A = this chain, B = another copy of it.
C-alpha cells in the first residue's frame, strides 16, 4: 500500500470511530428547552456571538428581543442592521455609555433598573424565541442589579425561550444557573497594537 493510500485508510478508520462516538452522543442528547447562555471573559466576541445567534434565530423564523445595557459612543452596526426588521426584532438600547464615561453610580443604577424592566417584558413574552441581554454581566458585576431577582426573572421565562447574557466578569451565580458558558479568552488584540476599533469588527 502506498504511503498516501495508507494515510487515507487510517483516516477513514479513525473517522469511522469518531462518527460512532458522535452519533452516540447525539442520540443521548434528546432534551429540548430554552437555554441560558453566558458569554464572558476578556476576549473579543461576547456580544458579536450573541448577535450571530440573533441572525440564526431569525433564519429559523423566530422572533428576537434585544436589550443593550451599555450603549457605546457610536451607534453600533448590529443596531443599525437589526432595526431593519422591526416585526422580527424588538431592539432596546438602554444604557448611557461605559461606567467610566458616566462616572455617576446612582444614574447608572437607575438606567440599569429601567433596562431590566424592559428585559422582563421580553422574558414574559412566549412569542420571543431568543432574548439577548447584552452587557448584563457588567450591570451585575457593578451591583446595579440584584442577581437573585435577575435569576428569578430569567428562570420564570417561557419554556422554549433562549436567553444569552454577555459581558466581562459574569458573577458565579449566573455561571452556575447557565446551561452553556463560554469564556472568550484574549489571545491577542489588535487594539493593544495601536489599531483603532473599527466598523464591522468592534461595533
Q: Which of B16, B39, B80 contacts A45 (CB 8 A)?
A: B39
- Per-position contact with B for A158-202: 1 when CB-CB < 8 Å, else 0? 000010000000000001001111111111111101111111110
Task: Report the bound CA distance from A162 to B203 in whole Å.
Answer: 13
Q: Which of B7, B58, B179, B201 contacts A193 (CB 8 A)?
A: B179
Known: A12-B104, A35-B198, A188-B181. Is A55-B53 also a contact (CB below 8 A)? no
Does A124 touch B at the CB level, under 8 Å? no
Does A139 touch B at the CB level, under 8 Å? no
Q: Which B residue's beta carbon lies closest to that of A176?
A: B188
From 75 to 111 in chain A, residues with beta carbon under 8 angstroms from any chain B beta carbon are 76-82, 98-106
From 3 to 62 in chain A, residues with beta carbon under 8 angstroms from any chain B beta carbon are 7-8, 11-12, 15-16, 18-19, 22, 25-26, 28-33, 35, 37-41, 43-60, 62
Please state if B103 and A16 are interface contacts (CB–CB under 8 Å): yes
Please state if B203 and A56 are interface contacts (CB–CB under 8 Å): yes
Task: Report the bound CA distance from A199 to B39 in whole Å.
Answer: 18
Interfacial residues, chain A to chain B (CB-CB below 8 A)? 7-8, 11-12, 15-16, 18-19, 22, 25-26, 28-33, 35, 37-41, 43-60, 62, 76-82, 98-106, 129-130, 162, 175, 178-191, 193-201, 203
Please state if B188 and A180 are interface contacts (CB–CB under 8 Å): yes
User: Within 8 Å CB of A32, what residues of B?
Assistant: 195-196, 198
- With most chain B CB atoms within 10 A of its CB, the pick from A57, A81, A186, A197 is A81
Q: Which of B12, B22, B82, B182 contacts A44 (CB 8 A)?
A: B182
Minimum C-beta distance from A139 to chain B (A):
14
Known: A59-B79, A106-B8, A200-B56. Is A178-B188 also a contact (CB below 8 A)? yes
Task: Report the bound CA distance from A101 to B78 in whole Å.
Answer: 35
